[in-house]
Amino acid sequence: MSAAAEAAASPPGVLRAPLVVEFPFTRSLGPVQSAFLTGLRERVVLGVRTTAGQVMVPPVEYDPVTAEEIRELVQVATTGTVTTWAWNDHPRPNQPLDSPFAWALVRLDGADTALLHALDAPGPDAVRTGMRVRIRWAAQRTGAITDIACFEPHEGPADPQGAPHDGAFAEPVTGIVAEARLDYTYSPGRAQTAYINALSERRTVGERCPSCHKVYVPPRGACPTCGVATTDRVEVGPAGTVTTYCVVNIKARNLDIEVPYVYAHIALDGADLALHGRIGGIPYDQVRMGLRVEPVWTEGGRYPDHYRPTGEPDADYDAYKELI
Ligand SMILES: [Zn+2]
């Protein structure tokens, strides 16, 4: 980014920081994907035959045309042909190769569809559509797409292909954890910068729409209804009302909170938009709509750790029904 663009992206006083959104996605595989990934562990590439007789690699569980379940596995070659590609000059962390490489669609011999993977080549001049390539296997294989380390140029004959395969392997892989990770440089903008700075003083500041007079917390800088900028800062809370909630029964990795617990929408007093937070200090099955709560801060915390009951009588439904 140029210095000018950098300045435009971060006006003076507006916060800017790295933001990583990361979650592990755990999925079971089913018979076709299980055979495919277990096969990779054993250096065997399996496709699936569609109702019309095409061989799809990577395989899918349902025919893309008829939607019928398909199970007929076919072993294809580890050699193939590049059908299209793009050069990646700046590999990012955790990509298949550390040095520049091509992302390529490779139609393996015996397959009718192409598989996306990395192609190790000295430069873009060494890559062309139609070039012959071969799988380079990873030294350590676990039953994952990364068992294919990458493709590499190949001059020799094609591998044998097309043999039916029953998909049976010892110790099949039945589930995978796919790590999803997005790296951002995030600037919250003028309105949320003020909101975050106020939180550092344990105050909650929203912004009022000059047209409809709603107070948005957290503020987004504009009223989504009226389409005008919100400039009038308003301190709200600290107490508020639970407008709706859910009971969380699944423990998240890296989150040291015992389940079950309650996560709620909370309309702070004076706000016309509910924010969300965890409810503590009360058994999870006693949390209710209308419960009056207040923030609980921890030492050094930049936002409330959770909200706890204030002990006041519950709010009337009419007082918060527009904020659910
Ligand atoms: Zn408005």
Residue 163: pLDDT band by 50, 70, 90 thresholds? confident
Same domain, 130 and 41: yes
Say yes or no: 28 and 95 in one domain.
yes
In this structure, the answer to whether residues 160 and 217 fall within a common structural domain is no
Q: Distance from the CA of 233 to the center of ligand 1, in angstroms? A: 14
With a cut of 50, say whether residue 102 has pLDDT above it.
Answer: yes
Co-location of 49 and 77 in the same domain: yes
Output the CA 301–ligand 1 centroid distance in Å: 32
158 shares its domain with 212 = no
Distances in Å between the Cα of 277 and the Cα atoms of 115, 165, 263, 307 are 43, 52, 6, 7
Question: 205 and 298 share a domain?
Answer: yes
| Cα 307 to ligand 1 centre (Å) | 28
Nearest by Cα to 130 from 105, 100, 162: 105
Distance CA 316, CA 264 (A): 17
**What's the token pair of residue 239?**
């107490």
Between the CA of 6 and the centroid of ligand 1 the distance, in Å, is 31
How confident is the model over 147-159, as a mean pLDDT? 93
Domain of residue 207 covers 189-323
106-140 tens-digit pLDDT: 999 999 999 999 999 999 999 999 999 999 999 99
State the DSSP H helix or E strand holding residue 74, giving kind and residue range, or none if neither.
Answer: strand 73-76
Q: Look at residue 268 and tell me if it is in a domain.
A: yes
Cα(236) to centroid of ligand 1, in Å? 17
- From the list 95, 156, 99, the residue with the least C-alpha distance to 124 is 99
Predicted TM-score (pTM) of this structure: 0.64
Q: Does the pLDDT at position 1 exceed 70?
A: no
The alpha carbon of 289 and the centre of ligand 1 are apart by a number of angstroms equal to 26
Overall domain count for the chain: 2
| Interval between CA 199 and ligand 1 midpoint (Å) | 24
Distance from Cα 306 to the centre of ligand 1, integer Å: 29
CB atoms within 10 A of CB 315: 18
Residues 148 and 296 in one domain: no
Q: How close is the Cα of 219 to the center of ligand 1, in Å?
A: 12
| pLDDT, average across residues 139-165 | 90
Cis preceding linkage at 100, omega within 30: no
Same-domain pairing of 87 and 194? no
Q: Give the helix/strand (H/E) hosting 82.
A: strand 79-88
Residue after which a domain boundary falls, among 155, 181, 207: 181
> What spacing in Å lies between the alpha carbon of 216 and ligand 1's midpoint?
9
DSSP assignment string, 184-201: EEE--HHHHHHHHHHHTT
| Residue 66, phi then psi, degrees to nearest 5 | -95, -15
Name all contacts of 11-18 with Cβ < 8 Å and 24+ positions apart: 11/190, 13/193, 14/187, 14/188, 14/189, 14/190, 14/193, 15/187, 15/188, 15/192, 15/193, 15/196, 15/197, 16/185, 16/186, 16/187, 17/185, 17/186, 18/183, 18/184, 18/185, 18/186
- Identify the burial level of 190 via C-beta atoms within 10 angstroms of its C-beta, where 0-12 means exposed, 13-18 middle and 19 or more buried: middle
Report the pLDDT value the prediction gives residue 275, as an integer from 0 to 100: 92
> Cα(223)–Cα(191) distance, rounded to whole angstroms?
12
Within a domain: residue 10? no
